[in-house]
Structure 1
Amino acid sequence: MELDGRVAIVTGAASGIGAALTHELVRRSARVVVADLDADATERATAALPAGTAVAAAGDTSDPAVIAAQIAVATEAFGPVDLYFANAGIGVGSGLGTAADWTRSIDVNLLAHVRAAQALIPGWVERGGGYFVSTASAAGLLSQIGSATYSTTKHAVVGFAEWLSITYGDAGVGVSCVCPMGVDTALLRPARPVDDQEALMLRTVESAGPVHTPESVAATVLDAVEQDRFLVLPHPEVLEMYRGKGADYGRWLGGMRRLHSAVRQSISKGNR
């Protein structure tokens, strides 16, 4: 999809990959709704963009009423929404997680995508075009040591994005699914203390490959959108890992168990 003149909503847009996406979209002459849970941060992020290119729309983007309100803000400010970046995500719940961890993770990491698609795709099909971008993770293709909630919901995001592409691709709806490894954001490097399971997850991600900047990831994502490419891999090595997993699942699981053990032992020695 050509981005010049398009209208986009980006969730989780006050920081990290989301903020980088808003800047790169504006650089490519799109207009943007900056959507994030934190109202003050949303206003600051919007103010950092050139005047007239963006509007703020704070709220919980897993809430259907908030999604509808943000679509209305976009339509009033710029016109019909052309692109939706379902980028907001959380990493709550270490180990097996609690019931509350599972509920919140499913709501934010998966159902927010579903609800946005329900709100937008019927209109896109009627108009003959639109584009949906799901931020998943390499964890959605491989796995995530340390967090069952994160690994499971990110697998589900990949599955939902695949389904959207299969079902609506011939109706003019483009879909991209973003699966990075480590990105230099607060999700990877939280300011708060972490428990051993969280440390296990974060250490594993950082040891798996290079940690990219949000800006480089955003550029890769928008290149993929302009090329109508489904699978977006800011870390190309993920593809070889994914191929290895599919070629010999038993060997891959064994390797992951060894990695889990090695990182856990390192953390137990105080090397966080």
Structure 2
Amino acid sequence: MKLDGRVVVITGAAGGIGTALARRFAAEGAAGIVLSDLDLDAVRALAADLAVDAVGVRTDVTVEDDVRALVETALERYGRVDVFCSNAGITSGAGIEGDDAVWQRSWEVNVRAHLYAARAVLPSMLERGEGYLLQTCSAAGLLTAVGDAPYSVTKHAAVGFAEWLSITYGNRGIRVSALCPQGVDTPMLRDGLDAGHVGAKVTAASGAVLSPDDVADAVVAGLAEERFLILPHAEVGTYLAHKTQDPDRWLAGMRRMAAGFTE
């Protein structure tokens, strides 16, 4: 899918990958962009700064009514949604000792938000016979997140849900992509490093840390080719192949890596 003339909704748009996507989509000639985040001032400022028609909306992606209202705003303003970027996400740095509230919050932001987006936007897309769901899932959803059990588990679930959506609706004009970057220079990664999270340290040391703009470039290319897996870090595909070819060897290698950061 080319983005010229398209209407796009982006969650988690106040910074990092979300902001980079908004700027790149505007440069590609999007007809309209709806930017959502908990930080209303930030998305309104971003909307005013883009060279296309855009609007900022405060949305809590863990509240289904908020997500439904977000889609309604887009439909009322532009008449359709061509691409819905379900981009909001959180890390925790927790293991099995993480309390239930940490696990629940991870499920709500990293998984249920994708569900709420699909419920809200798919009816109008299916009616038109066309639409695109871009879901930010992370390389952790294909591999793992050392030191962050809630993030690893929920990102695996996000990839699984994206697969299900593609299988279920792919023959009805709905395209689905799972965006799975590794290290990206975002507040999420920097905050994790500042907090001393093992997962953030491993991510930062495992390969190149890309800029959000690099990720946006990969997204535009992936959408144009309508690829299910969008991998800004090409090495993630290699790691995934190693994992599937010899899971035991891969797990042993991951244990050695983890030990280097925890011993």
TM band (smaller chain): over 0.9
Tell me if the contact between 2:192 and 2:200 (Cα under 8 Å) persists in the aligned partners.
no
Counterpart mapping for 1:1-272 below 5 A: 1-30=1-30, 31-50=32-51, 52-96=52-96, 97-190=98-191, 193-195=194-196, 198=197, 200-265=198-263
Q: Give, in angstroms, the shift of residue 76 of structure 1.
A: 2.3
Q: Give, in angstroms, the shift of residue 77 of structure 1.
A: 2.1
Cα distance in 2 between the residues matched to 1:20 and 1:165? 25
Tell me if the contact between 1:15 and 1:45 (Cα under 8 Å) persists in the aligned partners.
no
Using structure 2 for the length normalisation, give the TM-score. 0.96
Which has the higher mean CA deviation after the structures are superposed, 61-70 or 99-108? Answer: 61-70
Using structure 1 for the length normalisation, give the TM-score. 0.93
Tell me if the contact between 2:95 and 2:147 (Cα under 8 Å) persists in the aligned partners.
yes
Letter in 1 for 2:83: L
Cα distance in 1 between the residues matched to 2:74 and 2:93? 33
Letter in 1 for 2:149: A
Q: Give, in angstroms, the shift of residue 93 of structure 1.
A: 4.6
Tell me if the contact between 2:13 and 2:19 (Cα under 8 Å) persists in the aligned partners.
yes
Q: Give, in angstroms, the shift of residue 134 of structure 1.
A: 0.5
Cα displacement string for residues 168-199 of structure 1 (whole angstroms, at most 9, x for unaligned residues): 1110000000111000001110189415xx1x
Tell me if the contact between 1:55 and 1:77 (Cα under 8 Å) persists in the aligned partners.
no
Tell me if the contact between 1:93 and 1:102 (Cα under 8 Å) persists in the aligned partners.
no
Q: Give, in angstroms, the shift of residue 226 of structure 1.
A: 1.7
Q: Give, in angstroms, the shift of residue 264 of structure 1.
A: 1.4
Tell me if the contact between 1:3 and 1:25 (Cα under 8 Å) persists in the aligned partners.
yes
How many residues are aligned here?
Answer: 261
Letter in 2 for 1:254: A
Cα displacement string for residues 17-63 of structure 1 (whole angstroms, at most 9, x for unaligned residues): 0000001111111120010111222222222212x521011120221
Tell me if the contact between 2:193 and 2:201 (Cα under 8 Å) persists in the aligned partners.
no
Letter in 1 for 2:19: A
Cα distance in 2 between the residues matched to 1:213 and 1:120? 29
Cα distance in 2 between the residues matched to 1:124 and 1:110? 21
Cα distance in 2 between the residues matched to 1:176 and 1:246? 20
Q: Give, in angstroms, the shift of residue 122 of structure 1.
A: 2.5
Letter in 2 for 1:89: G
Tell me if the contact between 2:64 and 2:116 (Cα under 8 Å) persists in the aligned partners.
yes
Tell me if the contact between 2:3 and 2:29 (Cα under 8 Å) persists in the aligned partners.
yes
User: Could you list the runs of 5+ residues in structure 2 that have no partner in the other structure?
Assistant: none
Cα distance in 1 between the residues matched to 2:155 and 2:193? 23
Tell me if the contact between 1:102 and 1:149 (Cα under 8 Å) persists in the aligned partners.
yes
Tell me if the contact between 2:93 and 2:199 (Cα under 8 Å) persists in the aligned partners.
no
Cα distance in 1 between the residues matched to 2:49 and 2:14? 10
Matched residue SS, 1:211: coil
Letter in 1 for 2:157: A
Cα distance in 2 between the residues matched to 1:241 and 1:133? 22
Letter in 2 for 1:230: F
Q: 1:79 to 1:104 in 2, by over 3 A?
A: same
Tell me if the contact between 2:92 and 2:150 (Cα under 8 Å) persists in the aligned partners.
yes
Q: 1:41 to 1:191 in 2, by over 3 A?
A: farther
Cα displacement string for residues 129-150 of structure 1 (whole angstroms, at most 9, x for unaligned residues): 0000000111000000011000
